[in-house]
Structure 1
C-alpha cells in the first residue's frame, strides 16, 4: 500500500519506481525533478555567474509553465562557491544528495576539484566552463564548443578580416590552469597551421596589472593579443594596449568580457576587443535571443544585460532534451540520464548554440562560434560581427581526448 501511494518514489530512494512507471533515484519524486547549480555570484566571475543563474531559472520557468517534464516540475537548488575550489568541495556533499544532476557547474578549478566526485556519484553536470581537458569525464555534458576551439575560430576570423596574416607574431596572455592552458592550446594549434609565432604570458587569476606584460608583447612586435583571462584582467590589458600605442586587435575567450567593464576607467580602450563564444551576444537578433532578452529584462529589471543569460538557458535546453529522452526510456535515474545523454546526436537550441552531438565521448559536441565585438551602444555591450560558423582549421582540430 505504501508503495502504491508513492512514498518510496517521493523519498527519491535508489531503484524506486515512481509516477508513470518511471525508474528514479536521487533528486526525483512523483511531482518534481531537482537539478543543482554550483555557480559564482560572489567571485571573479560573479556578474557572468548571476546571468547564467538567471538563464537557468528562465528555462525552468518556461518548462514548468508548459507542464513540466515527465509530468514533473523542475526545481533548482543553488549554491555559490565564489569560484573557490575548496568552498565547492565543502558545498558539494550538501547539494549532491538532493539532485538528479547539475544544470550549471561554473569554473575550471571547481570542475577539476570535483571530477572524481561526479564520477563516483554518477552525477551528470553541465559545466559553465569550456575546457576540452574535461571531456575525459563521462559525467560532463559540455554545452557548446571548447576554449581551444573558440580561439581557433577567433584567430581564423581575425585572419579572414585581414587583421593578422601567416607568419605574424601574436601574444597570448592566459591564467595558469586548465582554463588558460586550454585557450593557449588553441593558439598553438592555429599557429602551427599558419606559421605564427606565439608569445606566451602566464599569469595567476589574482594578477590585476598587465601593463608590463603588454609592454613586453609590444616589444616582441605582436600583431594581435589573445586573452584567456578574467574580465578585470581584460580591462587592464586593453588599457595598456591603448596607452602604449600598440592598438592591435585583441581576441578573448567567452568569459573575458563583462558589460560592467563599460563603466570602468578602461571603457574607452575596449573597442579593439573581439570575443569568440558558442552563444551569441545579448544584443543578437536571432529570434530566440531576442525573445530571451525580453524575458530577462522583464523578470530581472535593472540587472546587468549579460550574455550569460543565453548560456544558462541553453544549459537548461540540453538538460530538457536529456530528461525528455530519459522519460521516454522510463528511467529518470542518474544512470538513465547518462544513457539518454549518450544517445543524443542532434540537440537543437534555436541557434543559441550550434547543433550538439553527444554520441562521441571525448569530442566537443560542436565546434561553431559567434564572434562579437565590444560596442558601448549595444545592449550587453557587444555586437555580433560574425554569425555562427566553424572555420576549416576548427573542423580539423582533434581535441585531447577525442578518439
Structure 2
C-alpha cells in the first residue's frame, strides 16, 4: 500500500493526563487581505501583528504533549517579539483547545480560520484528517503534530520531522544489530490501526522482510489498556523482539506484562508511545531494561547546545511542568514558522500562499536540535534520520541517547519502492 494513501483515522493518544493551568486566548480581530506597508498581506496580518493559530489539546488525552508544545511555542514567540518581532510586526498566538475531540477541532478551526495567517500547531492525526481539505482550500500553512506519511504531498500541510515508517526502519535496523536477530527469527508487531499505527507498521514490515524476520502481528484499539492478550499471543510464538506503535499507557502495560510473564525481549516503540510519566509506574524497571524508543528528536538529556538551552529556558519559565518531547515539537514549529515569515517578508508577500512559499525556501533548517531539516518539498519527509533512546529516571525527559541520529541504507530502498 502506498504510504501517501493510508486511510485517515484517529492517531496516537497519550493516556496520562496532566492537570491544566489557565491558558488565555487572544487575537479575535479579523484583518483582511491587501497591501500593508508595501508588503502583500492576507488574513491574520495587520500593520502591527501577524496572528498564528494554535489548535491543540490542553485538557484531553493528549494534553501531556499538547500543553508543553503550546507553552514552548509561546516562549519562542515571546523571545522573537522582545527582539522586535518579524517584519516590523509582533507574532500573536491565537490558541484554541480541542480537548482531543475531532468535532471540537473542526469547530475551532472554523472560528479562527478567518483571523489567522497560518496554523503553528495542529495536534492529532484524527483532527488533521478531518481538516485536510479545509486547510488546502484556505491555503493555510499548517504544521501538523503527527508525522504520518499520509500527510505528505499537500502544499499547505507540513510534516515536521521523520515520518513514522522511516523511524521504524531505522529503529528495527538497530534492533537487528544489537539484539543479534537473524533471518528466520520471529518478532512481534503490535500496533493500532490508523494513520499512526499503520504507517509505523508499514515501515516495520519492510525492515523485517529485508532482514528475513517473520512477523507475528497483533492489532490493538486506542482504548485498550491491558496488553496481556497481545503479549500472550506473541509470546506463544517465541518471538525474540517486539515492535510497538500505540499509546504510552499501552507501552507500560506491554513491557510490564512481558517482563512479568518471562518474555524479557527488547521492545522497540515509536517516540509517540512514550512519556516520562511512565517511569513513575510499577513498570519502570522493565522499561529501563527492555524498551528502546525511535524518533526524529534527540533526548532532552542530550548535550546538544540547542537542546540544553531549550531545557534551561523551559524550566525557568515553567518550573512546575514536566519535560517531554512536546517542548521540542513546540520549539521546532515556532522556529520554522518564524523563519518562514522572515522569508515571506523578504519576498514582500505575507499572504497565506506567501508564508507557505517562505517555508519551502528552508532547505537546510537547523535549530540546534540535532538534525538538519529540508522543508522545500512537502511531498517528502523533512528528515530521514532517527535517534534511538532508552528510558532512564532522573534525567530531563526520562530518556538517554543510545544511538545518534542515523539513516540506514534501507530507508532509500524503501522510498524508492514507494515513489
Question: Aligned residue for 2:32?
Answer: 13
Q: CA deviation at 1:399?
A: 7.8
Between 163-172 and 368-377, report the one with greater CA deviation: 163-172
Q: CA deviation at 1:163?
A: 4.5
CA distance in 1, matches of 2:184, 2:295: 26
Question: Aligned residue for 1:344?
Answer: 362
Q: CA deviation at 1:50?
A: 1.4
Question: Aligned residue for 1:323?
Answer: 341
Question: Aligned residue for 1:220?
Answer: 237
Superposition map of 1:87-126 within 5 A: 87-126=104-143
Q: What runs of 5+ residues in structure 2 fail to find an aligned partner?
A: 1-28
Change (3 A) 1:163 1:302: farther
Q: CA deviation at 1:353?
A: 4.7
Question: Aligned residue for 1:23?
Answer: 40
Match of 2:379 among 319, 341, 362: 362
Change (3 A) 1:295 1:24: same
Superposition map of 1:236-315 within 5 A: 236-271=253-288, 272-315=290-333
* TM-score, scaled relative to structure 2: 0.89
Question: Aligned residue for 2:83?
Answer: 66
Query: Is 1:376–1:382's contact at 8 Å kept on the other side of the alignment?
Result: yes
Query: Is 1:118–1:139's contact at 8 Å kept on the other side of the alignment?
Result: yes
Is 2:72 the partner of 1:55?
yes
Question: What does the per-residue CA deviation read over 1:72-118, in whole Å, with 9 as the maximum and x for residues that have no partner?
Answer: 11111111222221221121101211211111111111111111110
Q: CA deviation at 1:216?
A: 0.5
Query: Is 1:143–1:318's contact at 8 Å kept on the other side of the alignment?
Result: no
Q: CA deviation at 1:147?
A: 0.5
Question: What does the per-residue CA deviation read over 1:268-314, in whole Å, with 9 as the maximum and x for residues that have no partner?
Answer: 32121111111112211101100100001000011112122112101
3-state DSSP class of the match of 2:282? coil
Question: Aligned residue for 1:34?
Answer: 51
Q: CA deviation at 1:133?
A: 0.9
Is 2:170 the partner of 1:182?
no
Q: CA deviation at 1:150?
A: 0.8
Q: What runs of 5+ residues in structure 1 fail to find an aligned partner?
A: 1-9
Q: CA deviation at 1:43?
A: 2.4
Superposition map of 1:106-255 within 5 A: 106-255=123-272
CA distance in 2, matches of 1:196, 1:388: 24
CA distance in 1, matches of 2:189, 2:65: 22
Runs of 4+, deviation exceeding 6 Å: none
3-state DSSP class of the match of 1:275? strand
Q: CA deviation at 1:242?
A: 0.7
Change (3 A) 1:82 1:199: farther
Question: What does the per-residue CA deviation read over 1:203-256, in whole Å, with 9 as the maximum and x for residues that have no partner?
Answer: 111111111101111111211111111111111111111111101111111211
3-state DSSP class of the match of 1:260? helix
Query: Is 1:163–1:249's contact at 8 Å kept on the other side of the alignment?
Result: no
CA distance in 2, matches of 1:50, 1:395: 35
Change (3 A) 1:58 1:399: farther
CA distance in 2, matches of 1:99, 1:164: 51
CA distance in 1, matches of 2:250, 2:319: 28
Q: CA deviation at 1:123?
A: 0.7
Q: How many residues align?
A: 390
